[in-house]
């Protein structure tokens, strides 16, 4: 397949490099220093996968791009602009797989692609729900940091998820199609709502959440997020949610969460599309979420005032 990875940070670079190694034709669109290191030396993978893989990498999306699919691995808040820039570059509708964390990602992509003139834009969108952990070590260098799985779901009536899942599996990435997109999006959002803000606030790897006081804080956030999920009609019990939380914490114990990696780099985080989105849904339903409200404020206070983000892709 011909693939473009729009916003190749840790996860996009890991996936793009593995897909290229498996025989796909991949272009990574990445921040300039990352793109030029890859163009010069290839992608260097460490950890679970140790390899150097030559991949085409550019700092901006080429015009008139012809690909079979775009993987959007930008931050959630950059999905609308990345989708719009891709639509302009691709000219004709093509599969767009959005692999971000958080709630409302596919809706945001659909809106942007529709505004760019695509009809039935939702049929081109695949939602990716990823728990393969990866860390950007430096320009061109990514650590494959543990076990995880990529779930793929067609958003509307399109039938693209299986084709992508096959390509990912052929590249050695554990990937499968799910028919229950909403439940899986929530399952991941619950885990992210508990892991990401606590690890980011305290500067700790995921595995430290097994210890108090972090354990208690993560459980409190999980509990609040779960009350919103349940009110939204997603059927998870406390036991389901806790089992999933500790499973992911153990599988990604040495990983620094994506939110912590963002703060480490002085970048804006995805707090608004994870805990912020849950808080907003809770407020609409009159559910009090005091711990979530506090952590949203604490993470915002740690964020930089500006982050150019995807505007570099235009
Ligand atoms: O999704 C993640 C993230 O960091 O955003 C987990 C699975 C929690 C791995 O760190």
Position of tokens 């499968």? 176
pTM score, whole prediction = 0.91
* pLDDT attached to residue 180: 94
- pLDDT tens digits for range 288-307: 999 999 999 999 999 987 65
Mean pLDDT over 202-207 rounds to 98
For the annotated catalytic residues, the residue numbers are 188
- Name residues whose C-beta falls within 8 Å of residue 91's C-beta, 6 or more positions apart in sequence: 64
* pLDDT attached to residue 146: 85
* pLDDT attached to residue 306: 66
* pLDDT attached to residue 237: 95
Q: At 139, is the secondary structure helix, strand, or coil?
A: coil
Atom 1, ligand 1: which residue's CA is nearest?
131
* pLDDT attached to residue 65: 86
State the distance from the centre of ligand 1 to the C-alpha of 306, rounded, in angstroms. 23
Percentage of the chain beyond pLDDT 90 is 90
Atom 10, ligand 1: which residue's CA is nearest?
257
Confidence of residue 311 (pLDDT cuts 50, 70, 90): very low
* pLDDT attached to residue 158: 81
Q: How far is CA 92 from CA 6, 64, 71, 178, 311, in A?
A: 17, 9, 16, 27, 22
Mean pLDDT over 187-202 rounds to 97
CB-CB neighbours of 212 under 10 Å: 9
CB 20 less than 6 A from any atom of ligand 1: no
Domains observed in the chain: 2-179 (3.40.50.720), 182-302 (1.10.1040.10)
Q: How far apart are CA 73 and CA 44, in angstroms?
A: 18
Mean pLDDT over 94-122 rounds to 96
Confidence of residue 314 (pLDDT cuts 50, 70, 90): very low
State the distance from the centre of ligand 1 to the C-alpha of 179, rounded, in angstroms. 22
* pLDDT attached to residue 291: 98
* pLDDT attached to residue 304: 87
CB 248 less than 6 A from any atom of ligand 1: yes
Residue from 12, 103, 128, 192 whose mutation best tests the ligand 1 pocket (most atoms within 8 A of CB): 192
- C-alpha dihedral over 232, 233, 239, 242, to 10 degrees? -30
- Name residues whose C-beta falls within 8 Å of residue 159's C-beta, 6 or more positions apart in sequence: none
Give the chain's mean pLDDT: 94
Position of tokens 């950007």? 136
> Ligand 1, closest atom to CA 195?
8
Mean pLDDT over 28-55 rounds to 97
CB-CB neighbours of 56 under 10 Å: 16
Position of tokens 């849950």? 278
* pLDDT attached to residue 307: 56
Mean pLDDT over 269-291 rounds to 97
State the distance from the centre of ligand 1 to the C-alpha of 292, rounded, in angstroms. 18
* pLDDT attached to residue 18: 98
Query: 71 is written with which tokens?
Result: 């993987």
In this predicted structure, the answer to whether residue 148 has a pLDDT above a threshold of 80 is: yes
* pLDDT attached to residue 310: 42
């Amino acid at each position: 397949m011909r693939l473009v990875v729009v916003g190749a940070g840790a996860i996009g670079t890991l996936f793009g490099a593995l897909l290229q190694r498996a025989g796909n034709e991949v272009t990574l669109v990445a921040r300039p220093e990352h793109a030029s290191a890859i163009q010069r030396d290839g992608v260097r993978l460490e950890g679970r996968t140790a390899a150097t893989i030559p991949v085409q990498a550019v700092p901006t999306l080429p015009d008139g791009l012809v690909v079979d699919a775009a993987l959007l691995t930008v931050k959630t808040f950059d999905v609308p602009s990345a989708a719009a820039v891709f639509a302009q570059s691709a000219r004709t509708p093509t599969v767009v797989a959005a692999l971000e964390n958080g709630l409302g990602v596919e809706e945001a992509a659909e809106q942007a692609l529709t505004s760019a003139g695509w009809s039935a834009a939702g049929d081109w969108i695949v939602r990716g729900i990823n728990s393969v952990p990866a860390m950007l070590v430096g320009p061109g260098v990514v650590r494959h940091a543990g076990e995880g799985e990529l779930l793929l779901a067609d958003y509307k009536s399109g039938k693209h998820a299986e084709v992508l899942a096959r390509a990912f599996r052929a590249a050695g990435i554990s990937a499968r199609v799910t028919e229950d997109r909403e439940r899986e999006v929530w399952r991941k959002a619950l885990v992210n709502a508990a892991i990401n803000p606590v690890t980011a606030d305290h500067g700790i790897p995921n595995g430290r959440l097994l210890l108090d006081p972090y354990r208690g804080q993560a459980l409190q956030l999980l509990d609040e997020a779960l009350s919103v999920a349940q009110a939204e009609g997603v059927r998870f019990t406390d036991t389901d949610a806790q089992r999933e939380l500790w499973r992911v914490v153990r599988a990604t114990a040495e990983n620094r969460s994506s939110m912590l990696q963002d703060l480490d780099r002085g970048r804006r985080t995805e707090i608004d599309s994870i805990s912020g989105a849950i808080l907003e849904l809770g407020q609409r339903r009159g559910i009090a979420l005091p711990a979530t409200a506090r952590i949203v404020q604490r993470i915002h206070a740690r964020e930089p005032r500006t982050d150019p983000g995807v505007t570099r892709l235009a």
